Structure 1
């Protein structure tokens, strides 16, 4: 059972948070509550104190706190921080690192995993500033339980309604279930595309965004693993998580060298990156200039190192997972890759229909001596969560 700090902020949905606290207690979790002064306009601190049998932290400067440092004590105590409901104001404070009251100061001092449950008017939720703050929190590794479409306090339908307490409770428990499962384990995840120099200005590359690999690294970190995230060319922010160490590389050979340095001490390698298969045989030392009358430029290519195959042959007790991005004969090509590259698992997807850069995907899972399994279309974060759970079972 976990030690959960529940942060109540000032929205009409605050009354539902009382049921969330009660649900978590019934499941055996230890719960302590932090409230903003605005939250107390909707629910009294006495109500939460009576339920939890613990003092509610709502003021750093009260007489009872003069000889204590209450926000640090509670931050150190917490194994999970749950903000429910999360107002636009509190999301902004978290995203910017502001600390001007008991709640914002305590959560800033907390190093435990964090879940926020936004609830607000649909116009506020759609505001670019709120979107930026939510994106920043996601990049920082904060889990977001998205608001629902439903009847708002203003009397009309819109997105911004807080999910029901039972759904929030399930979301919390689902994410608690993998915490510390991989504590002491080391994992390598690769993400993004590589760049192969043509000349000092140009390069060969691909459309990989890095979203899938970064989502997988996040999920491994949530499970307690030490993650080496080897990133090539990506177009999203890297995670800010003390369990994830970032290694920036450029070419396929650079990526191979970095993976080889980390491999012997790792327990699992997930090759979610899209390394280039070819490079210029003799790249140009100066920028290629167009010549009068020249319409064509012929570049001679040669193969790059095959990282997945190299590590698949080298593995000892490690689990090696590869990705197969195909445009035709998906399962046949993925099955051949599984066998040829000595992988334990291949995640196969059809990239002919705008998968690169998208937040969603539909994949097949192929494993040695097992029939391929089709997963329904879901977000890349959901795929990452399910994939990491599957890998955890294999590691057991």
Structure 2
């Protein structure tokens, strides 16, 4: 595989030599792209000797080969270690003033940034915002290690150990050739929707989005191109494109726009069934007493059934493969499986994942119990289990149908 190893200008640049060695010894074709500052810590002859290739930080070298475009275009993985605060800021704002930042703009493969900087720089609001921006775009920004920094300082900001960075990157490289979802576009919705009541308040639900994000991470590990449509405020999994939304109508618009290009759609979001018929232009004041006939009332209207709409829109094509989620509780009319089976019949999706929910169950938790239902097949129960385990089980089931 073609790996680009970007090296930022920090004292941790020397550790990238070990990382380079791990990539080359594993048989990967590595191009080292240092910044000018990085070359003050580790010289070009070292990088050339370890990689077996010429090394430059300039877009002006070998111009006939257009390196500022070609290197990123041909890469299977770009990893930057160390990624300094300056490099992270440039990447977040699309700046391209040297060979490495040009490469980051042209790369369409997974990109992993391994930060290294002083604690004050890592925790500064500017860096926090830049990291959040990059993660929203699908860039995999690792958490720095905590420990001894330059001089006598200690704290978070230390470059993760080269072996840990390599193992993290190895999963991406394996997925390029071995991932069972390689070449597939997966669109996943996650989290609850927020239906505005006025500029301050909204109607929502308890969904955290954790299951949807776990599904996105699992699909990315299996080689899929993943689009995550979500209102949740969670770290975006590496290699995943985030499309932020708020309301059910936002979600419907974004899912419909991407359905035609999707191989698999997973509707894991908890979509509000209703929304206020009117949204107040100003905050509704708390000035009415109990039973006051002048107190405002909230009229609700039904939101669209997004899952049913996606199934109807695909018609007889049977693609994309559509997975629905249903949060269910048992009641006097039947248990969870009874209600889930009825919903599968109504929605006519290919796979329905029924969550057992309730007070202190599933919502916001790291584990849950689900039932996988498919037409004409016996239900499969998973759990109680970690949501990552559930995600892998869901994708195993989907892959059976895609093969």
**TM-score normalized by the length of structure 1:** 0.74
Deviation at residue 351 of structure 1 after TM alignment: 7.5
Report the aligned-residue RMSD: 4.6
1:75 paired residue number:
72
Cα deviation 1:42-65 (Å, max 9, x = unaligned): 22221221122111122234xx53
Contact 1:32 1:54 in 2 (8 A): yes
Identify which of 88, 103, 107 aligns with 2:104.
107
**Cα pair distance change 1:251/1:98, threshold 3 Å:** closer
Partner residue of 1:348 out of 350, 355, 358: 355
2:323 aligns to what?
321
Aligned to 2:32: 33
Unmatched 5+ stretches in structure 2:
345-349, 374-378
* Equivalent residues, number: 379
The correspondence of residues 79-228 of structure 1 with structure 2, limited to 5 A, is: 79-179=76-176, 181=179, 182-194=181-193, 204-206=203-205, 213=212, 216=215, 220=219, 225=224
* CA distance 1:196–1:163, shift in 2 (3 Å): closer
- 92 and 337 in structure 1: CA distance in 2 versus 1, 3 angstrom threshold: farther
Q: Is the 8 A contact 1:189 1:227 kept in 2?
A: yes
The verdict on how the C-alpha distance between 1:248 and 1:93 changes in structure 2, with shifts beyond 3 A counting, is closer
Q: Give 1:277's aligned residue.
A: 273
Structure 1 residue 141: deviation in Å? 1.1
> What is the alpha-carbon distance in structure 2 between the residues aligned to residue 373 and residue 16 of structure 1?
42
Q: Are the counterparts in 2 of residues 217 and 229 from structure 1 also a CA contact under 8 Å?
A: yes
Contact preservation (8 Å) 1:326, 1:352? no
Instruction: Please say if residues 269 and 320 of structure 1, whose CA atoms lie closer than 8 Å, have aligned partners that are also in contact.
Output: yes
Shift in alpha-carbon separation, 1:27–1:152, aligned structure 2, 3 A? same
Cα distance, 1:119 vs. partner? 1.4
Alpha carbons of structure 1 residues 323 and 152: separation in structure 2 relative to 1, 3 Å: farther
Contact 2:8 2:87 in 1 (8 A): yes
8 Å CA contact retained: 2:263, 2:319: yes
What are the Cα deviations for residues 312-340 of structure 1, in whole angstroms up to 9, with x where unaligned? 798946544344557999xx975455433
Q: Given that residues 309 and 340 in structure 1 are in contact (C-alpha distance below 8 angstroms), is that contact kept between their aligned partners in structure 2?
A: no
Q: Is 96-105 or 124-133 further displaced after alignment?
A: 96-105
Question: How far apart, in 2, do the equivalents of 1:243 and 1:159 lie?
Answer: 25
Instruction: Name the residue aligned to 2:376.
Output: none
The answer to whether the 8 A contact 2:189-2:229 is kept is: yes
The residue that corresponds to 2:385 in the other structure is: 375
Equivalent residue runs for 1:276-295 within 5 Å: 276-279=272-275, 283=277, 293-294=292-293
Assess if the C-alpha contact under 8 Å between 2:278 and 2:299 holds in 1.
no
Distance between the aligned counterparts of 1:160 and 1:284, measured in 2? 48
**Could you tell me how far 1:159 is from its partner in structure 2?**
1.5
Paired residues of 2:75 and 2:107 also in contact (CA < 8 A): yes
Q: How far is 1:123 from its partner?
A: 2.3
What is the deviation of 1:213? 4.6
1:18 aligns to what SS in structure 2?
Answer: helix
CA distance in 2, matches of 1:374, 1:346: 14
- How far apart are 1:169 and its partner, in Å? 0.9
Tell me, in whole angstroms, the C-alpha distance in 1 between the residues paired with 2:397 and 2:163: 28
